[in-house]
Amino acid sequence: MKAFSAAWKKSKQRRKQRKYRYNAPLHIKQKFIGAHMSRELRQKYGKRSAGLRKGDVVKVLRGKFRKKTGRVDRVDLKRNRIYIIGIEAKKRDGTKAFIPINPSKVMITELNIDDKQRQKKFRGKK
């Protein structure tokens, strides 16, 4: 495995794009964890998308759990996945396990604005 290259700019080759994302440090992988916002939030904040955080309410747009809504329980930067409360699979022994979901397949319906940094970012459109 080669080390991450900060000097890398772009490539048309999908394998190099994957390699960049896979080997990226966590502070860069944080930028890949984002999702579109609902129409109401777009109008309210004047932004199209936002980074996902624990506590945000999202709606799943694709896959088996389409149209289900839940609160983000955990964000996994290393695997580029999020885990949503209420979207679980039942295992054979009866326990429940969270199903990892790609952040690009969800839409933010409610933002968690407990953090002061996030409050500054999302002040309301004037």
Tens-level pLDDT at each residue, the chain (126 residues): 567 887 887 899 999 999 998 999 999 999 999 999 999 999 999 999 999 999 999 999 999 999 999 999 999 999 999 999 999 999 999 999 999 999 999 999 999 988 888 888 887 665
User: Residue 90's domain spans which residues?
Assistant: 34-121
Domain membership of residue 6 (yes or no) is no
Q: What is the pTM of this model?
A: 0.87
Q: What is the CATH number of the domain that holds 91?
A: 2.30.30.30
Domain membership of residue 76 (yes or no) is yes
C-alpha 12/C-alpha 66 separation (Å) is 31
Domain membership of residue 22 (yes or no) is no
Domain count across the chain: 1
Domain membership of residue 101 (yes or no) is yes
Domain membership of residue 9 (yes or no) is no
User: ∠ CA(28), CA(102), CA(64), 5° rounding?
Assistant: 180
